[in-house]
Amino acid sequence: MDKSLDIKAFLDADEKKDLLRLLTAGSVDDGKSTLIGRLLFDSKKLYEDQLTALERDSKRVGNAGAGQIDYALLLDGLKAEREEGITIDVAYRYFSTNARKFIIADTPGHEQYTRNMITGGSTANLAIILVDARTGVITQTRRHTFLVSLLGIKHIVLAVNKMDLVDFDQKVFNDITAEYLKLTDQLGIEDVTCFPLSALDGDNVVEKSQRTPWYEGPSLLDFLENVPIHLDRNMQDFRYPVQYVLRPNLDFRGFCAKIASGVVRKGDEIVALPSLKRSRVKSIVTYEGELQEAFCPQCVTLTLEDEIDISRGEMLVHPDNLPHIGRRFETMLVWMDEEPMNRGKQFFLKHNTNTTRATVDAVDFRVDVNTMEHLEGADLRLNEIASVRITTAKTLFFDSYAQNRATGNFVLIDPITNNTSAVGMIVRPIEDNDEAYDALPVLDLTKLGITAEQQQVVEKVVKELSRQGLEIKIIK
Amino acid sequence: MSTYNISHLQELEAESIHIIREVAAEFENPVMLYSIGKDSSVMVRLAEKAFAPGKVPFPLMHIDSRWKFREMIEFRDSYAKKYGWNLIVESNEEAFNAGVGPFTHGSKVHTDLMKTKALLDALNKYKFDAAFGGARRDEEKSRAKERIFSFRDQFQQWDPKNQRPELWDIYNSRVHKGESIRVFPLSNWTELDIWQYIRLENIPIVPLYYAKERPCVEIDGNLIMADDDRLPKELLPQVKNRMVRFRTLGCWPLTGAVESEAATIEEIVEEMMTTTKSERTTRVIDFDQEASMEQKKREGYF
């Protein structure tokens, strides 16, 4: 057969593969880096020169025994980490098989780095939680699983590693998985699959092992290649957070966004939030030409039948399917900043394409990440998690995180350090009947004697301030 | 009901376009750094897609070390003209006039002055608050840990231990005066993804990526193409025509060629799939010192 045809066929097939983003959690001792190294190595994506460097580094600083390749060194990239022997931040790894492309977010297991696991897992479809077969489910396992459930990751893999050190004993494996499933039941996680592995020797990682005849499931890689993920996206609720307004000429006014969820078709009736003005989708524009329909997570540009004024931060939705519209909500909050939380302090809150001022009004309870017990409410410190109530200056358009991951998340940014201080997953809206929260500063243009020509300038400034999160009401 | 499947390339494309639009919306004065390489070519196409049918609302900037391959410069100028890009070219004139170059000063001094310093000076000169770069996380270990929106202090330094948490598709673009963000829209693309995309989208790339007979000389184990008359005279007798191509492009004395017959994208991909060396081995600057890329990034080089 002609070789160039072969490669063309390969490329044509490769182009259609989908993408699975996965998170791995576990400590250095669980053999996490070894497992990832094994996946990369065995799926033949390790280039020879990376291997050569690895052999060289293994001799110098490796923690594996003499003559053994230390797969962990493949992953621990930064100099500081290599010296300390631990992974200190999220590292991304890429590999592909004939069935799928994979992005691995590799995160450390140490308590002080909860924020890295949260960072690495926010976009993951699937999480691999590692346990050592000798120790089974430990506090850290509970913590990781809780964080995975908090992030709304739909599929969990429990990798019971180091089975070689317990003689591939079926009872050990069964006991661990039974204990683990109790935990995931409690957290309401539905899709959990458990694997007996030896990452070091490769058992059940890529190929099914001869040493676990009692295990009837697939190998880990086989499972990762086949787990269905396209149904995990929210295709019901159309949410279009306007990101950028395109006006290349007077005849074209397009609203650019990444579709956060759902599907939009040409001709659909839409409503703009917060103005509640209605129109229809005139065209769905892309570089390649117009589309009949588009769906999440595509980036498109919509034009509308009517000329309505829409800017960044506003949202287009279907009139029969609205998100919550409001300024107060209850949310889970993970504190990511060295500087502790300060109730009453104003933060910037970024939600989709909206930035607004916001305050944390109350901490209802904190969660002990190890036991999942509720603790009394108090200002949060780094890596602490709580259920809190937040009020924003601007009206937001949101869903609960459980319902819609894409419109139920936000971050809090410290206005002084500009650090991302906290991240949140919205639980539910709080009905807004407290008038005190509506006290926006008001500019009465007529009273102030501002002429019609000057009004436009004032409105422009107010709009810019609103973009920066400072809301001012104009009365004409 | 249709199933609304999306391929990995479509997903990566959407992620990148979203990032590019976010920068255009949130920064006052962004710039796209353009290296003329294949990744830059993809990034530029993604920017064109992000704002179609409008024009891209920020300029391209090329930091010219004055030692780039001649074909790169020709390609750059014709591309910018054809697609109507606003192209800024900046160099460290002072160092160039003082005769700094890789043969005379070594790769470290050359890179520090002609690339890092030239870039920092240019960013300061135009007061850009955001700069896109085409780096991918699969290229090198320290890059694998970097955020998509990578914060730089007033000295353009990266602090790997103090990175802002980055979740979902929310990017923190807030900076104080003088600080900036480097933005990497191709973070999650792999080398194969880039080639696939170039193939699918018919994206023009510099011909140096394709195999051809070129005059080469071996220097310290690297196959260096004699691109202009600045090659040290004593090396001239060893120059031989060889069938080669380049897997990465940079300064010609610092970019090793690989012997190859691959003259189409399909052949390049085939070679890549069966090759035993990853792409950065042809970049001389990575081997200067242990963890050298991390060091360079800390200092402000990408």
Mind listing the domains of chain B with CATH numbers? 8-192+291-299 (3.40.50.620), 206-287 (no CATH)
Q: Residue B162: its pLDDT value, please?
A: 81
Classify residue A5: in a domain, yes or no.
no
Contact: B21, A243; criterion CB under 8 Å: yes
Least confident of A97-101, A275-279, A410-414, B297-301: B297-301
Q: Residue A48: its pLDDT value, please?
A: 46
Question: Could you tell me the CA-to-CA distances from B75 to A215, B8, B251 in Å, in that order?
Answer: 58, 29, 15
pLDDT: is B254 or B289 the higher one? B254
Last residue of a domain, one of A216, A232, A248: A232
Average pLDDT over residues B54-63: 96
Over residues A98-127, the pLDDT tens digits come to 889 999 988 766 655 678 888 889 999 999
pLDDT exceeds cutoff 70 at A56: no
- Predicted TM-score of the model (pTM): 0.89
Contact: A96, B164; criterion CB under 8 Å: no
Does residue A95 share a domain with residue A191?
yes
Domain that holds residue A16: 12-232
Contact: B8, A19; criterion CB under 8 Å: yes
Confidence of residue A297 (pLDDT cuts 50, 70, 90): very high
Over residues A303-360, the pLDDT tens digits come to 999 999 999 999 999 999 999 999 999 999 999 999 999 888 899 999 999 999 999 9
Report ipTM for this prediction. Answer: 0.90
**CATH number for the domain that contains residue A176:** 3.40.50.300
Contact: B172, A286; criterion CB under 8 Å: no
Q: Given 3-state DSSP classes, what are the helix, strand and coil percentages for chain B, each rounded to the nearest 5?
A: 40, 15, 40
Contact between A283 and A303 (Cβ < 8 Å): yes
Residue A348 touches chain B, beta carbons under 8 Å = yes
Chosen for mutation from A48, A411, A423, A464 (greatest number of chain B CBs closer than 10 Å) is: A411
Does residue A252 share a domain with residue A129?
no
Contact: B25, A47; criterion CB under 8 Å: no
Average pLDDT over residues A175-184: 96
**CATH number for the domain that contains residue A298:** 2.40.30.10
Distance between B171 CA and the closest CA of chain A, angstroms: 9
Nearest by CB: A18 against B8, B24, B269: B8
Does residue A422 share a domain with residue A458?
no
Last residue of a domain, one of A232, A266, A300: A232
Over residues B154-196, the pLDDT tens digits come to 888 888 878 899 999 999 999 999 899 999 999 999 988 999 9
Over residues A363-385, the pLDDT tens digits come to 999 999 888 899 998 889 998 99
Q: Residue A116: its pLDDT value, please?
A: 80
Residue A300 touches chain B, beta carbons under 8 Å = no
Confidence of residue A67 (pLDDT cuts 50, 70, 90): very low
Average pLDDT over residues A282-291: 97
Distance between A173 CA and the closest CA of chain B, angstroms: 34
Classify residue A4: in a domain, yes or no.
no
Classify residue A358: in a domain, yes or no.
yes
Classify residue A84: in a domain, yes or no.
yes
Residue B4 touches chain A, beta carbons under 8 Å = yes
Confidence of residue B302 (pLDDT cuts 50, 70, 90): low
Classify residue A165: in a domain, yes or no.
yes
Does residue A262 share a domain with residue A282?
yes
Does residue A300 share a domain with residue A330?
no
Contact: B167, A423; criterion CB under 8 Å: yes
Contact between B123 and B98 (Cβ < 8 Å): no
